[in-house]
Structure 1
Amino acid sequence: MSIPFDRAPTATTDTQLSFDSLGAPLHEVTFVIVDLETTGTSAGKSEITEIGAVKTRGGEVLGEFQSLVKPEESVISPFVARLTGITHAMVDDAPSIRSVLPSFLEFSLGSVLVAHNAPFDIGFLRSACERLDYHWPQPTVLDTVTLSRRVVGRDEVRNHKLSTLAAHFGTEVSPDHRALSDARATGELLHRLLERFGGYGITTLEDLAAVRQAGWAKRQAKSHLAKGVPAEPGVYMFLDGTRRVLYIGKSGNMARRVRGYFNASENRGRMAEMITAAQEVSCLPCAHALEAEVREIRLIGELAPPYNRRSKNPERNSWIVLSDEEYPRLSVVRSTTALEKSSAIPLGPFRSRKSAQAVKELLDTLYPVKRCTARVTAATLAAHRPCVSSQVGQCGGPCAGVTDRQTYLSGIADLFDAMGGDFSSLRRLCTQRMTRLASEARYETAAEVRDAMRSAMSTAARAESAQALRAVPEILAHSPGPDGGLDLAVIRHGKLAAASHVRGSRAVADSSAAIRATAEWVPAPGPFPADTDSLPEETRVLSQWLQTATLITEQGAWSLPRSGANFHAQESGTVRLGDAV
């Protein structure tokens, strides 16, 4: 059961929040608007005949670059000559791309490249760099075609060609298919578009670079929902008009993350749908990112928001158990009652019933365990009618009296070991089966065996790690915070009981005593899952955090068995050290 926010034992922080950098303001960004003339349309086959570029910042022209380029192999066709006015006679004495390209790269270094139909121009520049073995600097690139399609409607222009847009906005320079003139016109167009984006609240380069998909303006109209969101760690919730929670997320900086939903950096279709329905954003500030992640897990598990996918429905976890029968058989269950009736340690929890079923089928195949659901009674033994599995030799036939109980249990002793985390026999049997299947060219079936084995071992390793942490009454630890401070956490029986953030090591002692005194009481876990237990994902997150944290105090021993599930999983390469948690 998760802790309600208004009663959560979270200590206050004494750290002054720093101002959230919202990105590079557009008026401070240096743009290099570039245009190329070429011998054709293919960057791999055609060559550049002219480069024109304009460098601007804050609307002021800082410099220009222009050069004709002599093609080394390509021929300027009559059509291209008529279109651009560039002829062979004009480029005969021009420098080659080997001389021009380094000068252009130096001119544009550190700037944002802008072009109209940028994939064309940037594609030629990248191709030239690759051909000449020059380093391509990976600049940020903006395409004025893409930008114009987001803020210039179909009711304004019939298309988004440079000439059409230049005429629509009335640029001083008209494009004429010469590189420098077209670059100047594109530069004017860029600043006209930036004025329009400013009306939508787009004032930084990061916001502008994120404008890609349709529907952006509609989402941007709801950007007012992000106002007032604090620039600190925490959990944010999108709510509809009835205050139903639509989506829950967490971030180390809620203001920056929530703004991203409205500035089009979020390109998932279902998120666009969620933003359309959202009417409110509610926030819970947390002491640090770890607490935010834990509270997100708890809230998603409790509220099951429709637009969240991860962490939902933790009650749907599945286990593989051996039934409480005279001749036990494997089954996939979800209820705690079924776990309590198991005659062996349950294997799980699996994150989906499908993966649990795949592992069960593998175990049924590898071990001579009873598969049929019929109860073994005197009547069934007298009838002596073995099930199909018995007839094909997949089990000892206990349902027909072919095998007595003691012999049957001895035959599946290795299965009991595997359920308890000793995967020696499982690894050996899987290796043998995969080798045989591969020799028969049944590679897909062999891959299914491999995947099921990995699923069984990684699941058992996670469960073992969680059980080890839940056995510890209390751990107090800290890790470095993003501002040079320290993030403190009290973990009791695998559950986050308190969290705090302090500025420096001198405040750790006082803050530690305070959060321990106010931390949530967590009961010791029983042998089977209970409502008071921490969620498996929460325990996993805490275990991962502790891998790099510094322990302050510890009650009890936090350790893993030397030859348990984690040992076998790491030895087989299924997981690496620390991955299982």
Structure 2
Amino acid sequence: RQEVGDFKLGTLARHFRAATSPTHRALDDARATVDVLHAILERLGNLGVTTLEDLMEVTHAVPAARRARRTWADGLPEGPGVYWFVSEHRTSVPEVIYVGTSVNVRRRVRQYFTASETRRRMDEMVRVATGVRAQACATTLEAGVRELRLIDSRQPRYNRRSRRQDAVTWVALTDEPFPRLSMVRDTRRSGRIYWGPFTGRGQAEEATRTLRELTGLRECTGAPASHPHGCPLAEMGRCAAPCLDPEAADRRADYQRVVDSARRAMTDDVRPVMEAACRRIATLALAERFEEAGDLTRRTGLLIRASRRRARIAALADCEEIIAALPCGGGTGRDGWQFHLIRHGRLAAAAVSPAGSDPMETVANARREAETVLPGPPGVPGCSVEEAELVASWLEQPGVRLVDITGQWAWPVHCTVPDHQQAESVARLMTPEPTRPGAAPEMDDTPGERH
């Protein structure tokens, strides 16, 4: 700023004696820009600036105390891994205050002490921290899993995400003569089908209410007592009403069909429930009750997504072992392979086979050293839901190859439906069928309604 009056390209080109003068023509301006850039890089090199992070430090004001701590990154892994900042101010045992992961731990940690880190919360975290630790990992998936487990076990105060990995709500059919839906947190009870999970109780309540309405499951708690008139939900056709005659065999058989329909929607086939919802949405729309139709559409989408999420997690949870591989660097395997061994949805081992080595020997070593994972209830993984979904995302990416599998890893064909299918079904139900030639059109005596 003390050497030039402005930062126009022509001014800088003259100041640095560029070989080409800018003339507002593309080629001349590009050549002048290159000369100016090279001149600036020569000056920055004398200041020890070799990376973009160094440049950010020079061009922005960074407190000296914060800048001095960048030496904490020296010696950290130059590859994938997990890192955590610690503080020894409160207790004699270092407190883990923040956990992160990166494909290059040293480079990522160094960014916390430069001007490129602008988050106020992270600035406070760096000031509180007294050191940083790191653990190298074989793959980015292993690093992500270790990050989740470390956050779950240490509860660092500067992490906002993943601190309550077990705080999810499941929905299960109760073990009663006339089952109903119940929201639970504990999934250790065997013999139940668990649906979900839901990240919030409000979502679980909405999905539960929608499934009850569309199948006819009872809402009342306790054993159904004989009642001559049933309840308001029964009168509206939204409950199978076993209370009308709970001792009758045909009533029990009818209600069992309702339970089977709900169980199929929760586990492997949402089509009947989706069609029931579409019929009701079309009826509401034709009656110009658009707000109710929109609300039911939204809740039906939530129900379908819950069944899809359950199928995705259950496919991994119920599979005893999966060994999968991905080429290093996204190539064909010439640069080596990364392997992951998954048991009941939990990452049990991770390894990398370098180029030129025997990959199956790496697989055999990983299998011998893998963690033992015990199966849980059907559909419930042997780890947190977040870890199971992280593993599922890795398995589903292009290029992953199955090496070996014990058990079955598959989704039910009709556990979900495309978003457009629901809209098309509603539109079809709202479109009147063409009248046959020669047939008189049907008349409706009710004013204001359309059929």
TM-score (norm 1): 0.60
SS at match of 2:166: helix
Name the CA shift for 1:537/1:376 in 2 (closer, same or farther; >3 Å).
same
Is the alpha carbon distance of 1:558 and 1:227 closer, same or farther for their aligned partners in structure 2, counting shifts above 3 Å? same
CA shift in 2, pair 1:61/1:473, >3 Å: farther
What pairs with 1:310-325 in structure 2 (closer than 5 Å)?
310-325=161-176
Provide the residue aligned with 1:415 in structure 2: 262
Match of 2:26 in 1: 102
User: RMSD between aligned alpha carbons?
Assistant: 4.1
Aligned to 1:366: 214
Residue aligning to 1:272: 123
Kept in 1, the 8 Å contact 2:166–2:384? The answer is: no
SS in 2 for 1:360: helix
Alignment partners' CA distance in 1, 2:378 and 2:253: 27
Letter in 1 for 2:306: T
Aligned partners of 1:232 and 1:253 also within 8 Å: yes
Tell me the TM-score normalized by structure 2: 0.75
Select which of 18, 22, 25 maps to 1:62. Answer: 18
2:362 aligned residue (511, 517, 538): 511
1:366-396: CA deviation from partner (whole Å, max 9, x where unpaired): 2322223354236xx3xx5754434544324
In the other structure, the counterpart of 1:162 is none
Going from structure 1 to structure 2, the CA distance change for 1:313 and 1:111 (only over 3 Å counts) comes to farther
Matched, 1:281 2:237: no
Q: Secondary structure at the match of 1:520?
A: coil
> C-alpha offsets along residues 298-342 of structure 1, whole Å, 9 cap, x if unaligned?
2223333233233332221211222333333223221225x5475
Q: Is the 8 A contact 2:214 2:276 kept in 1?
A: yes
The counterpart of 2:239, out of the listed 355, 372, 395, is: 395
The residue that corresponds to 2:198 in the other structure is 350
Correspondence for 2:304 among 457, 461, 466: 457
- Residue 263 (structure 1) shift: 1.7
Q: Deviations over 1:401-426 (max 9, x none)?
A: 59944433444542232122210112
Contact map agreement 1:223 1:262 (CA 8 A) in 2: yes
Give the direction of change, closer, same or farther, for the CA distance of 1:235–1:527 in structure 2 (3 Å limit).
Answer: same
**Displacement over 6 Å in runs of 4+:** 210-218
Task: Quickly say closer, same or farther: Cα 1:327–1:61, change in 2 above 3 A.
Answer: farther
TM-superposed deviation, 1:246: 1.7
Does 2:282 match 1:435? yes
Residue 158 (structure 2) pairs with residue 307 (structure 1):
yes
The 1-side partners of 2:281 and 2:422 are apart by 16
CA displacement at 1:33 relative to structure 2: 11
Provide the C-alpha distance between the structure 2 equivalents of 1:270 and 1:302, rounded to a whole number of angstroms: 22
From 225, 228, 231, the equivalent of 2:75 is 228
| C-alpha distance in 1 between matches for 2:200 and 2:383 | 19
Shift in alpha-carbon separation, 1:327–1:553, aligned structure 2, 3 A: closer
- 1:506 is paired with a residue whose SS is coil
Larger Rg: 1
- 2:264 is paired with a residue whose SS is helix
Q: Structure 1: how far apart are the matches of 2:357 and 2:325?
A: 13
SS of 1:459's equivalent in the other structure is helix
TM alignment of 1:470-489, pairs within 5 A: 470-482=317-329, 484-489=335-340
Alignment-mate amino acid for residue 394 of structure 1: R
The residue that corresponds to 1:544 in the other structure is 393
Q: Secondary structure at the match of 1:314?
A: coil
| Gap change, CA 1:366 and 1:305, over 3 Å in 2 | same
Q: Secondary structure at the match of 2:125?
A: helix
Q: How do 1:60-459 and structure 2 match up within 5 A? A: 61-63=17-19, 65=21, 100=24, 102=26, 105-107=29-31, 203-209=50-56, 219-241=66-88, 242=91, 243-336=94-187, 340=190, 342=192, 345-373=193-221, 375-377=223-225, 381=227, 386-390=230-234, 392-399=236-243, 404-411=251-258, 413-439=260-286, 445-459=292-306
Q: Percent identity?
A: 33
**2:314 matched to which residue of 1?**
467
**1:413-451 CA deviation, whole Å, 9 max, x = no partner?**
422321222101122123234434545666565454344
Shift of 1:61: 4.7
Unmatched tracts of structure 2, length 5 or more: 424-451
Please state whether the residue corresponding to 1:475 is helix, strand or coil.
strand
Residue ranges of structure 1 left out of the alignment (5+ in a row) = 1-31, 37-50, 68-99, 114-186, 575-581
SS in 1 for 2:351: strand
Residue aligning to 2:410? 559
Q: Which amino acid aligns with 2:146?
A: R
Given that 1:213 and 1:267 are in contact with CA atoms closer than 8 Å, whether structure 2 keeps it comes out as no
